[in-house]
Structure 1
Amino acid sequence: MEKTLLSFGHGYSAAALAKILEPQGWRIIGTSRSEEKLPRLMQAGVKPRVWPGADMTPALNAATHLLISTAPTEAGDPVLAELRDEITKRAKQFEWVGYLSTTGVYGDHNGGWVDEDTPLTPATKRGIARVKAEAEWAAIPDLPLHIFRLAGIYGPGRGPFSKVRAGTARRIIKKGQVFSRIHVDDIAQVLAASIAKPNPGAAYNLCDDDPAPPQEVIGYAAELLGLPLPEAVDFETAEMTPMAQSFYAESKKVRNDKIKDELGVVLKYPDYRSGLKALLALEESA
């Protein structure tokens, strides 16, 4: 049977995975809420569907693998809200199901370490919604579910360089604040490794080896560009969007031993320095 990945909310991370799978002969079906994005998906070799809206029965019938990238709302997971019965009755059909979650499910640990066995104690509405969504997917009998808890994502088109160049970057200083992060290419290779070695029921943290204060990352980006160090701004007085503020509500270091020990993953970018260097080299070669 042809390997077919049905990717709900086919976005940044899913596109990186598709680049690995397509050369191996996979068929990729990706959904988007916007018709405007369909040409871009088609150019990438993805068979696009506008969803919600399209009849997903043919795609579900063809799928051997599912990837869920859609964000939950307070009402729950949008895929299950519409397609729970369809997915449940096909649970044994799928060889692998991946759900992209967030390390926000662990909540705040005052800069301490967490791993996959740490209790889920989210501190934000987004984190609470993710915990509920994880549980919703896990409750489907016989579904070969794999949960991937992603740290802060960066990669091509999602780095600090544009803001540093424009002079709009700031180094937000909050004592003890530390984040984990992950390059999108490493997300893709972890997902591909899991597909090759399924372990239904498993949860994995996806992050690099070097949790770091956010101001260090901005400072290093400026150093690479040969530009002045961006302004340091105290968190308490910084003007920030509610989304940005929510990231600073939690401080923790995330362990990634499981993706290495169980899946044999060797990170391409084990820290933000190697990742940012590679991003800048890619930009300069474009």
Structure 2
Amino acid sequence: MPRMLIFGMGYTASRLADRLRAEGWEVIGTRREAQDGALAFDDTSSVLAALTSASHVLSSVPPSRDGSEPVLDHYGSAIGSASLQWSAYLSSTGVYGDADGAWVDESAPIGSGRRKARSEADQNWQNLRNDMHVFRLPGIYGPGRSPLDRVRDGKSSRIDMPGQVFSRIHADDIVAAVIASFDGPAGVYNISDDLPAPQHEIVAHAARLLGMDVPPLQSLDEANLSQAALGFYEENRRVANGKAKRLLGWEPRYPDYKAGLQALLD
């Protein structure tokens, strides 16, 4: 039986775990504290025992606010020397920084953006093992975590930023890409949909699907966003996904936000 050890049972990783268990895998995950069958991250002896028996290992844990890398700091040496069939890290397309709206693929330089710690973690995971797969992910949405939910809750604003676009990806398309990579070559992969689009278009489409009023366009100043959200709008890029399609045989089930939102509504 294949065994997956997942560091960080967050939103996307939990959906991956559910899919693998349904296919007969044994999946062990970690959380900050032991709950829902997951091990406590700091329970070193149990985590190392799980690593010893694992055939596949994935980390979805981002760097800490101070820039440290919890999984690599605690377990990097053990992961690097473990006998595994496959290993992976969920990174971010934020490592590319601002591209002024241009397309970026995996050959683009990283480390120039606001997420320096993310870029360093991305590179450190690449260097850890020869079988490492690094998945760079844009904005993630899915059941219970989408523009539909934010519009319903009255928490969506539409920001007027001419020329500004973002890439995104449905969580289940990430799951499909990870599974496709089990038989694919190691390396770095952008996992995004096919249609980068302005944020305000997605919110408007979600409102129309729900039969609700489309929120008015606002300037950045009018929106009164948090500092973290403002940083989101400082970067503008289109994420190319051709490498994953070519080498992994992966295709997004939801190639654009319209298909993804309609599926969530259905």
Same fold (TM over 0.5): yes
* 1:183-240 CA-partner distances (Å, limit 9, x unpaired): 0010000000001x1312x100011000000000000001101111102110144211
1:30 aligns with 2:20: no
245-254 or 48-57: bigger deviation = 48-57
Asked whether the 8 Å contact 1:205–1:254 carries over to 2, the reply is: yes
Structure 1 residue runs without a partner (length 5+): 43-47, 282-286
Aligned to 1:10, what secondary structure does the other structure show?
A: coil
Aligned counterparts of 1:225 and 1:256: Cα–Cα separation in 2: 30
Secondary structure at the residue paired with 1:139? helix
Distance 1:83 1:243 in 2: 29
**Is residue 2:172 matched to residue 1:181?**
no
Question: Once the 2 structures are TM-superposed, how far is the Cα of residue 13 of structure 1 from its aligned partner?
Answer: 1.1
Aligned residues: 264
SS of match in other structure, 1:70: coil
Q: What residue is the counterpart of 2:70 in the other structure?
A: 78
The correspondence for 1:128, drawn from 104, 116, 119, is: 116
Q: Indicate the residue corresponding to 1:199 in structure 2.
A: 185
Q: CA deviation at 1:138?
A: 2.4
- C-alpha distance in 2 between matches for 1:255 and 1:51: 34
Q: Does 2:50 correspond to 1:63?
A: no
Calculate the aligned-residue CA RMSD, in Å: 1.5
Residue equivalent to 1:45: none
Cα–Cα, structure 1 residues 254 and 228, in superposed 2: closer, same or farther, change >3 Å? same
Out of 213, 216, 219, the residue aligned to residue 234 of structure 1 is 219
Distance in 1, Cα, partners of 2:72 & 2:181:
22
CA contact 2:164–2:236 (8 Å) conserved in 1:
yes
1-side partners of 2:252 and 2:161: how far apart? Answer: 29
Aligned equivalents of 1:170, 1:23: Cα separation in 2: 38
Over 3 Å counting, the alpha-carbon distance change for 1:16 and 1:168 in structure 2 is closer
Alignment check: 8 A CA contact 2:184 2:248 kept:
no
What letter corresponds to residue 76 of structure 1 in structure 2?
A: S
1:147 partner SS: strand
Shift in CA distance, 34/107, structure 1 to aligned 2, threshold 3 Å: same
- Greater CA drift, 129-138 or 271-280: 129-138
Matched, 1:218 2:208: no
For 1:117, the equivalent position in structure 2 comes to 107
Instruction: Name the SS for the 1:79 alignment partner.
Output: helix
- Runs of 4+ aligned residues of structure 1 deviating over 3 Å after TM superposition are none
CA contact (8 A) 1:96 1:198 kept: no
CA distance in 1, matches of 2:23, 2:43: 30
Most deviating of 177-186 and 113-122: 113-122
Q: Identify the match of residue 253 of structure 1 among 238, 241, 246.
A: 238
- C-alpha distance after superposition, 1:50-79 (max 9, x if no partner): 112342221111111111000112343111
The offset of 1:20, in angstroms, is 2.5
Query: What residue ranges of structure 2 are gaps of 5+ in the alignment?
Result: none
Matched to 2:165, the amino acid is: V
**Alpha-carbon distance between aligned partners in 2 of 1:192 and 1:229, rounded to the nearest angstrom:** 37
Do structure 1's residue 139 and structure 2's residue 127 form an aligned pair? yes
Partners of 2:152 and 2:79 lie apart in 1 by 46
**2:184 touches 2:247 (CA, 8 Å); kept in 1?**
no
Q: 1:167 to 1:139 in 2, by over 3 A?
A: closer
CA distance, structure 2, for counterparts of residue 166 and residue 30 of structure 1: 31
Contact preservation (8 Å) 2:111, 2:120: no
Most deviating of 216-225 and 112-121? 112-121
SS of residue matched to 1:100: strand
